[in-house]
Amino acid sequence: MDMQVAKKKLGLKEKYQVMTRGLDWEPSYQKKEDIYPYASYEGIKIHDWDKWEDPFRLTMDAYWKYQAEKERKLYAIIDAYAQNNGHLNVTDARYINTVKLFLTGVSPLEYMAHRGFAHAGRAFPGAGPRVACLMQSLDEIRHAQTQIHALSNFNKHYNGLHDFRHMHDRVWYLSVPKSFFDDAVTAGPFEFMVAIGFSFEYVLTNLLFVPFVSGAAYNGDMGTMTFGFSAQSDEARHMTLGLEVIKFILEQDPDNLPIVQRWIDKWTWRGYRVLTLVAMMMDYMLPKRTMSWKEAWEVYFEENGGALFKDLARYGITMPRCAETIALEKDHLSHQAWGTFYNYGAAAAFHTWVPEKEEMDWLAAKYPQSFDKYYRPRLEFWREQAAKGNRFYNKTLPMLCQTCQIPMLFTEPGDPTKICYREVDYQGSKYHFCSDHCKEIFEHEPEKYVQSWLPVHQIYQGSCFPEGTDPSAEGFDPLAAVLQYYHLEFGRDNLDFEGSEDQKNFDLWRGQATKNG
């Protein structure tokens, strides 16, 4: 690293004062309430915005300097990776499906985070959080851009990555991360900060990035590893912002506690449900595994999250109640999720497969309570059938949870043989949920969640066919029309990995790279 340490004129603390609050001013000809119209309607009471301080004391001048250095390092590696056909160094081509899921499911959320933090920063009357939100907003657009740049290299060679932005707004499983973030950005600025800044960034983001990025490193994907770590280097600052905001809000007024606790309960659960995708990625989609989902949950949530909530107990905050349900799900989550994608492998923009025998043995060792008893028989049956040319593709659309929008695949807490059904009657109509927690979230704000754009229902309403489609025409094939609407090419982007174009190309190219032609 080539960086000069400037001769300091001001210490860190003084510089922070000058470069944040020192740049703020009191309005003289407009009312504060008119300038900050969203600062009070959520019921959060703030008496002294100056009590908020960034413990890193990062100022914009230093921010630009370090971010520029990160970008230079990142793009040097991405270029080298592309020039050397780095994609051929991954363990096997199944790995690339994790990248597809990430680009279509997560990268668009980075862009939404950019918008969300820009909005929250604008809405807060305090200079400290405003500057921190500005930095995070810039970080997030950087994450979106670097991910798109890094992953575009894969798009040159593999299927399913060609129209990620279009897919994000339409494809059934992508409605899960999309609706999660839409829910957050349509809340007020304080709820957004608790939702994304605290619950997602502080409590859950380690579970997304650290295993994913470590997994990329372990599977030979240097490009993804590099953008992942580059994004993650901002994450420490984001986590800090999330934690400081919570502490600040709670210190400002005792009336804030119940509101904040409800948001933490809600958003820990909402975020955890989105991580269902990460759970299956870790246990099923990485050819070389780093740690199981269950282990990651134990380290990053139970251990670190446990320490966090113990620390917050002095404000009256308690561990979200959903943690008990999550503990009961950790032996089952990834298996149930992968089974779902295997079911609907004809409608996904990535490939699915049955794990190899050694992989099943790894799963059995990591999940001694559950894998052999409940999941191995299912997977082995599917493998036998596929070998007979009868690969299972579920063609009937599933029932979805009104809140998290995930198919109703989760089982009763404590009984992995029974689907968990919950329902509510609201204004003469029925609404269905995957869990007590999704049901409670709905019950608290039914006016919001009755608007859920549930992909299955939208298909049945006829909203998911290409423009000009006539569903009453002779021989109309609804599945084909829905895939066209998704921009998902049947036979290339979807179906089993076995026999896919990705598989054939990777074998061919790797052969050319390692042998004389």
Partner 1 sequence: MSTVFIALQANEDTRPIIEAIAADNPQARINEAPAMVKIDAEGRLTVRRASIEDRIGRGFDLQELHINLISLSGNIDETDDELTLSWHA
Partner 2 sequence: MAVAAIGKYEFEPADALEKFHGAQLLYIGWEDHLLFCAPFAFPFPPTMPFRAVVEEVLPGSFGYHPDFARIDWAQAEWFKSGQPWRPDFDKSLAENGLRHKDVIRFRTPGLRGIAGSCS
Does residue 178 belong to the site contacting Fe ion (CB under 5 A)?
A: no
Cα atoms in the 13 Å half-sphere on the side-chain side of 210: 18
Tell the smallest beta-carbon distance from residue 341 to partner 2 (Å): 9
Strand partners of residue 425: 430
CB nearer partner 1, residue 214 or residue 352: 214
| Token pair of 312 as six digits | 């917050």
Tell the smallest beta-carbon distance from residue 57 to partner 1 (Å): 6
| Token pair of 39 as six digits | 């600062």
CA dihedral 337, 277, 443, 315 (to 10 degrees): 130
For β-strands 429-433 and 422-426, DSSP reports them as antiparallel
User: How many beta carbons lie within 10 A of that of residue 67, not counting itself?
Assistant: 17
Q: Which does 377 bind (CB under 5 to 8 A by kind): partner 1, partner 2, Fe ion, none?
A: partner 2
Q: Which does 438 bind (CB under 5 to 8 A by kind): Fe ion, partner 1, partner 2, none?
A: Fe ion
Q: Which does 110 bind (CB under 5 to 8 A by kind): partner 2, Fe ion, partner 1, none?
A: Fe ion
- Give the span between the Cα atoms of 56 and 262, in whole angstroms: 28
Q: Which does 452 bind (CB under 5 to 8 A by kind): partner 2, Fe ion, partner 1, none?
A: partner 2
CB nearer partner 1, residue 229 or residue 350: 229
CB nearer partner 1, residue 57 or residue 115: 57
- Cβ-based neighbours of 125, under 8 Å, separated by 6 or more: 32, 35, 36, 39, 46, 49
Tell the smallest beta-carbon distance from residue 432 to partner 2 (Å): 6
DSSP SS3 for 456: helix
CB nearer Fe ion, residue 194 or residue 434: 434
CB nearer Fe ion, residue 161 or residue 434: 434
Q: Which does 304 bind (CB under 5 to 8 A by kind): Fe ion, partner 1, partner 2, none?
A: partner 1
Site of tokens 């134990």: 298
Strand partners of residue 407: 400
Tell the smallest beta-carbon distance from residue 252 to Fe ion (Å): 27
Total residues at interface with Fe ion (CB under 5 A): 8
CB nearer partner 1, residue 66 or residue 465: 66
Q: What is the DSSP string of 225-284?
A: HHHHHHHHHHHHHHHHHHHHHHHHHHHH-TTHHHHHHHHHHHHHHHHHHHTHHHHHIIII
Does residue 434 belong to the site contacting Fe ion (CB under 5 A)?
A: yes
Q: Which residues bind partner 1 (CB under 8 A)?
A: 1, 3, 5, 8, 11-13, 55-58, 62, 66, 69-70, 73, 205-206, 209-210, 213-215, 217-218, 225, 229, 232-237, 239-240, 243, 290, 303-304, 306-308, 310-311, 313-314
* CA-wise closest residue to 184 among 94, 117, 129: 117
| Token pair of 29 as six digits | 């000809």
CB nearer partner 1, residue 12 or residue 23: 12
Tell the smallest beta-carbon distance from residue 117 to Fe ion (Å): 10
CB nearer Fe ion, residue 438 or residue 483: 438
Q: Which does 501 bind (CB under 5 to 8 A by kind): partner 1, partner 2, Fe ion, none?
A: none
CB nearer partner 2, residue 151 or residue 454: 454
CB nearer partner 2, residue 140 or residue 191: 191
Tell the smallest beta-carbon distance from residue 284 to partner 2 (Å): 14
CB nearer partner 2, residue 70 or residue 378: 378
DSSP SS3 for 150: helix
Tell the smallest beta-carbon distance from residue 419 to partner 2 (Å): 6
Q: What is the DSSP string of 62-90?
A: HHHHHHHHHHHHHHHHHHHHHHTTGGGGS
Task: Output the CA angle 22-24-25, nearest 5 degrees.
Answer: 115
State which amino acid sits at residue 325. T
The secondary element (H helix, E strand) that includes residue 309 is helix 304-312
Per the rule left: phi > 0, alpha: psi between -120 and 50, beta: everything else, 124 is: beta
Site string for Fe ion, 377-416 (x = CB under 5 A): ------------------------x-xx------------
- Give the span between the Cα atoms of 229 and 223, in whole angstroms: 10
- Give the span between the Cα atoms of 421 and 154, in whole angstroms: 40
Tell the smallest beta-carbon distance from residue 243 to partner 2 (Å): 23
SS (H, E, C) 155-166: HCCCCCCCCHHH
Tell the smallest beta-carbon distance from residue 454 to partner 2 (Å): 7
Tell the smallest beta-carbon distance from residue 183 to partner 2 (Å): 11
CB nearer partner 1, residue 36 or residue 309: 309
Tell the smallest beta-carbon distance from residue 279 to partner 1 (Å): 19
First to last CA, the chain: 41
Site of tokens 């301080």: 53
* CA-wise closest residue to 372 among 387, 390, 357: 357
Q: Which residues bind partner 2 (CB under 8 A)?
A: 37-38, 41-43, 188, 191, 336, 339-340, 343-344, 373-375, 377-378, 381-382, 392, 394-400, 407-409, 411, 416-419, 421, 423, 427, 429-432, 443-445, 447-448, 450-454, 456-458, 460-462
Q: Which does 303 bind (CB under 5 to 8 A by kind): Fe ion, partner 2, partner 1, none?
A: partner 1
Question: Which residues of the shown chain bind Fe ion in the complex (CB under 5 A)?
Answer: 110, 140, 143, 401, 403-404, 434, 438
